[in-house]
Structure formats: C-alpha cells, structure tokens
Structure 1
Amino acid sequence: MLEQHRPVLDEVAQRHGVDAATVVAVWGVESNFGQTFGSYPLVQSLATLSCQGRRQGFFRGELFAALRILQAGHVPPERLRGSWAGAFGHTQFMPTTYERLAVDFDGDGRRDLIDSVPDALASTANFLARAGWKDGLPWGFEVRLPEGFSTEGQGRKLRQPMARWRDLGLRRADGAPLPELDAPAGLMTPAGPQGPAFLVTKNFDAIYSYNAAESYGLAIAHLADRLRGAGPFVTPWPTDDAGLSRAERRELQQLLAARGHDIGAIDGLLGERSRAAIRAERGRLFGERAPDGRAGQKLLRTLRAEALLAAPESPPAEAPISR
C-alpha cells in the first residue's frame, strides 16, 4: 500500500507535513489497510448507544454528527457502516472527528473516508498535524537503560532535554549515543524496566491522541519504523508476567478503587492516576524499591486474592420452616 499509493502519499506529506510511513501505519492498524471497516449500521449503533450505557451524551453528539454527514451527501446511507462504537472508514474516524478534520483530497466535492483512499489518507495526516505532529521529528526510539536505573516517576509526559538523558547514561538500544535532537523526550517503559524502554517525543503524543493507549501508539510508531526499513525491538518483551485484556484492566481499576485509590473513571484505560496506584500497590505487595506502573497478571491475581480474603462471610442460610 505504501508503494501503490506513493504519489498520493507524497502529496499528502507535502501538504500536511506527515510522512507516508506514519499515515500508512495508522491505516494498517485501524482497518488492516481497508479490509476491516466494521459492519454495523452507524446510525443504528449510535442511536442505541445514545439511549443505553454510561456515555449517552457523548454518543448522542456522535449520532447527530453522523446524521449531518448523511444530510450533506458525503457518504451514501447504505455505505455508512463501521464499528459498534461509531468509528468508520479506512482510518476509523468518529463522526465529530470527521466534521472537524476530514478533507476532500480527491476534489470530488465529498469528504469520503469509506470509498476514497486519498480522502482517508489525507484526513489522517490532517488529524496528526492538528494534534501537533512536527515534520522531521522522530516519534522516539528504543533505548538501553544503565544498570540500576530507576524508572520511578518517569513517563512519556515528563520530558527532559536529550542532553539530560545522555548525562543519566541512556544510550540507543544498539549501544550508539543518543541523537542530537533539539526536542525534549519522556521515558516510556510499557513492560516495566526489564522490557523495552523508549524515549518518546511530542510526535508520539500526536499518535497517542488518535486512540488514547500507549500500546496503540507504540504499535503505529513501530509499524511506521518497519515500513521505513528498521528492524524489530532489540530488548525482548518479558514473558514471565503476561499483560491484561481490556476487561481485566477494568477489573484491576475496580480493585484499586476499592483500596481507596483515586483513579478516575473505570474504563480499562490506564492513565497517570491508575499508573500511580499500580506503583503504590506493587511497592506494598511485592516490596519493590522502585515499582513501575505496569499492570500484569501477577498484580491482578494478588489483588483479587486480597479482596476475596477481605470479603465478609455470607450468613448461613436459614433452615426451611416445616408446615
């Protein structure tokens, strides 16, 4: 797809300042390059979510936006299908995102993210550009941490100048010195200090804004690197403590909230408050001197067992009365 649509992608990059590999990586992750749009009628899905569930106000706004898209004639009604939650098209825009950021790149008078690949690719680049993407700046890169380096208190939002990271002993994963970048970067260790570590710039935040999950952002960033010819991560991912599904992350948040941690919404998205609670619990439960914010099966199982032990016993059932 990168080569098939090279002329369009080159023009998109010139107009919006986002490179072809990044745009195509979003396309690949979101719809397998146009093969998986979702089969739900968007109006029906959004109408249902407008009346049921905990985010009715949000989905009501998306429903009205979908109706406006149909009214303007950008997409035929029978073609407006997508995910159960309302995202649609090659790169899975929500209707209100479409209204703000979709572009008519092919010049046919319609902003069609379903049947026009040029419109979809250009709209994706426009999204990233408006999210703060800086042309020529890498999203980040894998690094090697010095022996005994503490990751406590670190995170992608806590950026420091590259010179500071050099002074702390960090190097590229292949052992090379850190690049001379005039941009601050934050340290991200999604699998804990024993797994791959990354210095990430504001361009990673632009990818992250597409779907607020570090694993999602890293998938797109890494796929873009592979499309440019780079190799796989150098540090292997830890296998002794598997990660969590979305449902398990929600369960973990419930257990953390039950212990008195203020983590915000129980949504399965592990933000800064959830990570802080995880660090506190890992320190308490496992005696880690510099606990990280990784959520794994070990922590979930331990908190489950604690909650079970703390639960009050059920009163014995009353004997039936003979009549």
Structure 2
Amino acid sequence: MIDNKMLPLFLAPFLVAAPAHSETYPEFLAGLKQEARSIVGMNDEALNSAFSQIKLFKKASAGGAPQAQPEKLDDYFPFRVPESLVEQAREQFKLHHESLLQIEKQFGVQPRFVVALWGLRSEFGNRSAGYPALTVNASLAYDGDDKAFHREQVLAGLKALARDGLAFDAFTANTKGLLGQTAFSAADYLAYATDGDGDGKKDIWQNTTDVFASIATLLVKNGWQAEATWGRQVRVPDGLDANLVGLTHSESFAQWQKLGVRRYDGTDLPDRADMQVSLIMPEGPKGRQYLVYENYRVLSKLFASDFEALAVTYLSERIKYPPIE
C-alpha cells in the first residue's frame, strides 16, 4: 500500500500540466472575429484587415500587483500629486488658457478640473503610448486578469474604427489598453471622445483641444454642474452619528450647521438652501472630513476610491491657488 503522504510523489511522473489556455491565440482571435462580425458594423474586408494586424502583445499588462499606497491623505496627496505635477499643471493651465476658456464656454466645465483630470490620467500625455490598442486589448482578453472587460474593449475598438474611419495603427494605447492623453478605454472613446475644434476628427492622441473637449464630455455626461464646485474640507464634532457619513446620505447646509459641522477655519457653513450635500470621512472620524457636492459624486463614479477622487480635487485647488498670473 502506498502511504497517502507519498501519493503526490508517486503520481508526479504521470501528471501532465494543464494547458494555460483551452485554445491557441489564433483560435481565440477566430472566435472573437466571428463574434465581432455580427455587432461591430464592419464589412468583411475591413474586419479581415483589422484582425490580420492583431498580434499577441507580450508587453500588455493589466497592472500586476497593486502598488502600496499611503493610508493617510496627508501622505497620499504628495505621493499621488507631487509638486512636479502641480507645477506642470499650472504651466499647462496657463499655456492652454484660451482653449480651456472656450471649452468652459461650450461645455460648462471649469478649466482647472479639465487640467487636473488630464494630469492625473496621463501626466499631460507623457504617460500615453503608441501600441496598437486592438492588439493590447486582444492580448489581455486572451491572457489577462479581466478577460471579459478587455474582450469588450476589442469589440468597442472595432466599432470606433468603423464609426470614425480610424486606421488600425492610429488607434493606439498604453500597455493597459487605455487610449491617448485621456486614458480612455475603447468603450469610453465611443461614449465620450469629442471633436473640440470642429475639424471632423476626435483626436485624443495629439489634439489638445479634442482632449479637453473629451474630458469635459466625460464629466458632463456623468452629471457635472457648471456653476458648482466639488466640496470643502470641514470640521466635525466628536460623536457625530456614523449613519450620517457617506455619499448615500445628504443634508442641507443648515442641517449640518445644527449638527455642529463648520468650515475648516471654524466659521459658519454657506448660507444656501438650494443644495443637499454629503459628509465623507475617507480616513475615518480622526482623519480629514469633507462636505461634498454633486460634482464630487461625478468624480466618485470615475474613480475606485475617495482617495483617487480627492486627488483630482486637490490638484484642482493647487491650480486655482495661488492665482496664475
């Protein structure tokens, strides 16, 4: 009789490693092309041409293990928004001021928020890359952490090529499959890419006016309010009911005032009866506390955490103050 403890060693010579995939990459692409044929609006010639150019991209990356990030906002802000990024943001704000004012007039999105998102998404285009987006997303759909998502991005990318008449090599992405200076997914491109200068193209790779218009469209379509800001840091009395904290609960400024909430400098809250605002404490009751408005809710849809959304607001405030001459 074989000892159970020895069984794995006994069987080892007879075991064959399970294949990483049930199909080869060419077989995977053939199935994906068949699926695409019925839904992306391409004729067979264009579809065959696109798929003939899709390769296995070994540099494609879903991101790997997440990088450890500071757990306190006082540490997170300089980590995520270093002074070098603030300086670049203020320079870009000044450089593109006229174009940004036109975007504000057209879309109702304040320039500082457009620039903040641009900076945090792609470092003003410096983190964008020129890899074929369909190749990257197909590779991640075949061998990535979120295969279903990237499969959808291949189909969305094909739709984008068909809709906008884009060349395969012009539709480029970084190693995560995100496009251009906006760092859009292909589905985001379909939903938000915008021709900002009226030249008939939606160039989120090279045309900064289109980049600004596309970021503004992203915000507006998610509910951005033109005449409002995002929120403010406040002070909250000890012992406030924890059930009142979070985006699911809103009160008027007057009600928060009655509960003892004050501006960070200790003065009264705004005297406005037309807003319902929420209290968030991303670090818990001992950390920073904020009253946030509808525009913050928009940002919270676009980011995975309050820390990330607050990084946008932090950079926007650093662009605003001190005023840029």
Provide TM-score, normalisation by structure 2: 0.66
Root-mean-square deviation over aligned CA pairs: 2.0
Following TM superposition, the consecutive aligned residue runs of length 4 or more in structure 1 with deviations greater than 6 angstroms are none
1:114 aligns with 2:205: yes
Q: Distance in 1 between matches of 2:229 and 2:322?
A: 13
Residue 170 of structure 1, CA deviation = 0.4
SS at 1:69 equivalent: helix
Residue 227 of structure 1, CA deviation = 1.0
Count of residue pairs brought into register by the alignment: 231
Change (3 A) 1:157 1:83: farther
Give the AA of the match of 1:180: D
Q: Distance in 2 between matches of 1:230 and 1:173?
A: 19
Residue 41 of structure 1, CA deviation = 3.2
Q: Distance in 2 between matches of 1:129 and 1:168?
A: 33
The 10-residue stretch of structure 1 (16-25 or 82-91) with the greater mean CA deviation from structure 2: 82-91
Residue 55 of structure 1, CA deviation = 3.6
Change (3 A) 1:208 1:5: same
1:91 aligned to which of 182, 189, 194: 182
Q: How many percent of aligned residue pairs carry the same amino acid?
A: 31
SS at 2:291 equivalent: strand
Q: Distance in 2 between matches of 1:60 and 1:38?
A: 20
Which residue number in structure 2 is paired with residue 48 of structure 1? 139
1:5 aligns with 2:103: no
Residue 195 of structure 1, CA deviation = 1.0
Which residue number in structure 2 is paired with residue 191 of structure 1? 283
Kindly indicate whether the alpha-carbon contact (under 8 Å) linking 1:103 and 1:111 is maintained by their aligned counterparts in 2.
yes
1:226 aligned to which of 318, 321, 324: 318
Structure with more relative contact order (C-alpha pairs < 8 Å, separation 6 or more)? 2
Residue 191 of structure 1, CA deviation = 1.0
1:151 aligned to which of 242, 252, 269: 242
1:103 aligns with 2:194: yes
Q: Distance in 2 between matches of 1:97 and 1:228?
A: 28
> Quick check: which has more Rg, 1 or 2?
2
Unaligned stretches of 5+ residues in structure 2: 1-91
Change (3 A) 1:198 1:38: farther
Q: Distance in 2 between matches of 1:230 and 1:133?
A: 24
The 10-residue stretch of structure 1 (36-45 or 57-66) with the greater mean CA deviation from structure 2: 36-45
SS at 1:36 equivalent: coil
Give the AA of the match of 1:137: A
Unaligned stretches of 5+ residues in structure 1: 232-323
1:129 aligned to which of 220, 228, 232: 220
1:26 aligned to which of 117, 126, 129: 117
Residue 103 of structure 1, CA deviation = 0.9
> Deviation digits for residues 20-65 of structure 1, max 9, x if unmatched?
0011000011111111114543212210222234643332221122
Kindly indicate whether the alpha-carbon contact (under 8 Å) linking 1:74 and 1:110 is maintained by their aligned counterparts in 2.
no
Residue 194 of structure 1, CA deviation = 1.1
Q: Distance in 2 between matches of 1:106 and 1:20?
A: 16
Q: Distance in 1 between matches of 2:282 and 2:308?
A: 11
Provide TM-score, normalisation by structure 1: 0.67
Any residues of structure 2 matched to 1:156-175 within 5 Å, and which? 156-175=247-266
> Deviation digits for residues 140-195 of structure 1, max 9, x if unmatched?
10000113334355102311111111110000111121112321111111111111
Give the AA of the match of 1:95: A
Change (3 A) 1:23 1:54: same
